[in-house]
Amino acid sequence: MANDSATIGAADAVVRMLELHDVKHVFGVCGDTSLPLYDALARLDHGMTHILARDERCAAYMADVYARLTGKVGVVEGPSGAGATYMLPGIAEANGTSIPVLALTTDIPVTGRGKFVLTEGDQEAWFRPITKKTRVVEIPQNIAGAFRGAFNAMTTGTPGAAHIGLPYDVLKGQVDVNDLWADRSLGSYPARPTQPADNMITAAVEVIQAARKPVIICGGGVLHARAWDELQAFAEAIGAPVGTTISAKGTIAETHELALSTIGTNGSTAGSRKVVEDSDLIIYVGCHVGSVTTQKCTNPRNHEKTIIHIDIDPTCIGANYETAVALTGDARLILSALLQQIGVPPSGTASNRWGYAAVERAKAQKKQQFLLKAHSNEAPIFPERIVAEMQRAMPPDAIIVSDPGTPTPYLCAYYEAQKAGHSFIFHRTYGGLGFALPGVIGAHIAHPDRKIVGIMGDGSFGFSSGELETITRLKIPVTLIVTNNSGYSWIKAGQYQNYESKGFQVDFSCSDHAAIAAAYGLKTWKVVQPDELAPALKSALAYDGPTLIDIITRPLEELDVPVTAFLG
């Protein structure tokens, strides 16, 4: 029989609630208001590992990537005041990308409110617009309920972020041990998945079977649901090309005969865009169907194609296009249900030869475009040459974490994912620079058995280079690649393409990123000539510690970038 009078310290209760939700890793930065929490983490036997970062924004990015790759809730913690505000960009990105990340912030004592205590702020107001659920706990007795509510919100329905604020005096209180319980399954996502009624599945099947040229376009929701096997089987059953958004790159192995690669304004090629234009049915799966995916609603135009939209979030279905059939729920369950009604074609046959031929033509066009620069010996180095050398050097199960800017369109257009599943991580909702460098830490914690590569522009490097110390302190054997073109080249390319103010306040000095990283303890290479790139990559990937390659790269305004906005 439970002891009704047994209590536990509130900070200890926080640790136990994390443990009960199957949390294994916590990313964060220490602070004055966090002292009780850190004391509990240090004293208790809980099976969790704390990863000390150099700032809270980077810690949130680590938790984000960790959650994407493991399917578990990512947890980031930080102190009051600036610590909480620094965390906001990372939490906003996670929530916008439907990634369950729990932001734990400590706070000034409840008794200090309104007395101009240092670091006082309205944490609920800060986090409310960028989370599914936020709560500052007012009394110790509400701690356990706050955690149960946060984990439920993060992992059921449309996944997303949550926030719990823990005032200093609340952490010093007591909690009834009988209140410490949890549903352990809510520590992973998607939890409690749902699917539409059978008649809705039947309606979709009827539309699919009437189509002559179906195309599937999948977003990150397919990866969140871990539905890549079901996606491939469904595509093969109806003979449909599979295009992916940037967030979904790698959902299908791009060696597959139906893999169309990236579609949309960023990272697509003319051949893949033509396949979408020629289709008569588009099946969107786990995709918001926003401006990048649809080339600002020009491919397709509204009422131009029949649309089936599958998504866990009902609010995005029909937001931009009239939709013939809306299927709300988990992508894996829905694809399985569709496949069950459609049936699997006999081995060696294809139900729709158009799809296979269309993808073959698109790939031939892309290869022709890629080869124009992939073997160029000109300096500064073309991005296509970097992609070509990476493709040759990287193991097939490597995980690539990419920052926005120069790397993204070239990787999306030309790097060929060898296996289906989580192999690429892109920062897409708000596109803040500085994501990849801390992101590789979260990726390594998630998959220490796989090679992790982070690629970023020199602008991005400047946002988060302090985490080089974290990488060396933890002895993480990641490889970082910096495309060094001495400026905010993405914005500069936009100026050159569309405005008279060419080169206004977008250039900065050429930093020696190899020297900077070497000062932190990484093994580094500086690459200027194309023939130096392959041996540098080979050596960096083989080294058993952290490495960085600084590549002097041709600026975007001088390139034929696979971005339709730049191409006019």
- Bond before 36 cis per omega within 30 degrees: no
The pLDDT of residue 346? 64
**What DSSP line would sit under 319-338, residue for residue?**
SSS--SEEEES-HHHHHHHH
What's the topology of domain 375-567? Rossmann fold (3.40.50)
Q: Are 357 and 260 in contact (CB under 8 A)?
A: no
CA 429 – CA 247 distance, rounded (Å)? 9
The pLDDT of residue 568? 45
Q: Are 537 and 551 in contact (CB under 8 A)?
A: no
Residues 6 or more apart from 23 whose CB is under 8 A from it? Answer: 48, 72, 73, 75, 187
Residues 6 or more apart from 346 whose CB is under 8 A from it? Answer: none
Could you report the per-residue pLDDT of 16-59, keeping only the tens digit for each?
999 999 999 999 999 999 999 999 999 999 999 999 999 999 99
Whole-structure pTM value: 0.96
Q: Do domains 7-187 and 375-567 have the same CATH topology?
A: yes
Name the nearest CA neighbour of 10 among 133, 110, 101, 91.
Answer: 110
Q: Are 426 and 52 in contact (CB under 8 A)?
A: no
Residue 256: CB atoms within 10 A of its CB come to 16
pLDDT < 50: residue spans in the chain:
1, 567-568
Q: What is the DSSP letter of 72?
A: B
Q: Are 253 and 344 in contact (CB under 8 A)?
A: no
- We find that the CATH architecture of domain 7-187 is 3-Layer(aba) Sandwich (3.40)
Q: What is 198-359's CATH number?
A: 3.40.50.1220
Q: Are 474 and 441 in contact (CB under 8 A)?
A: yes
The residues with which 385 forms a beta bridge, in sequence order, are none
Instruction: Please report, for the chain, the start and end positions of each structural domain, with discontinuous segments joined by +.
Output: 7-187, 198-359, 375-567
Q: Are 338 and 207 in contact (CB under 8 A)?
A: no
CA 563 – CA 269 distance, rounded (Å)? 8
Residue 240: CB atoms within 10 A of its CB come to 29
Residues 6 or more apart from 396 whose CB is under 8 A from it? Answer: 418, 419
Name the nearest CA neighbour of 325 among 233, 214, 191, 243.
Answer: 214
Q: What is the DSSP letter of 43?
A: H
The residues with which 52 forms a beta bridge, in sequence order, are 28
Residues 6 or more apart from 142 whose CB is under 8 A from it? Answer: none
Residues 6 or more apart from 167 whose CB is under 8 A from it? Answer: 33, 106, 107, 108, 109, 110, 136, 137, 138
Amino acid residing at 196: P
Could you report the per-residue pLDDT of 244-287, keeping only the tens digit for each?
999 999 999 999 999 999 999 999 999 999 999 999 999 999 99
H, E, C per residue of 506-566: CECCCCCHHHHHHHHCCEEEEECCHHHHHHHHHHHHHCCCCEEEEEEECCHHHCCCCEHHH
CA 106 – CA 472 distance, rounded (Å)? 28
Residues 6 or more apart from 520 whose CB is under 8 A from it? Answer: 468, 469, 471, 472
Using CA atoms, how far residue 251 sits from 227, 229, 302, 332, 563, in Å, is 8, 9, 26, 12, 21
**Unique residue bearing structure tokens 């892309």:** 366
Q: Within 13 Å of residue 285, how many CA atoms lie on the same side as its CB?
A: 34
Strand order, beta sheet including 214-218: 259-262, 242-244, 214-218, 281-285, 306-311, 325-328
Q: What is the DSSP letter of 315?
A: G
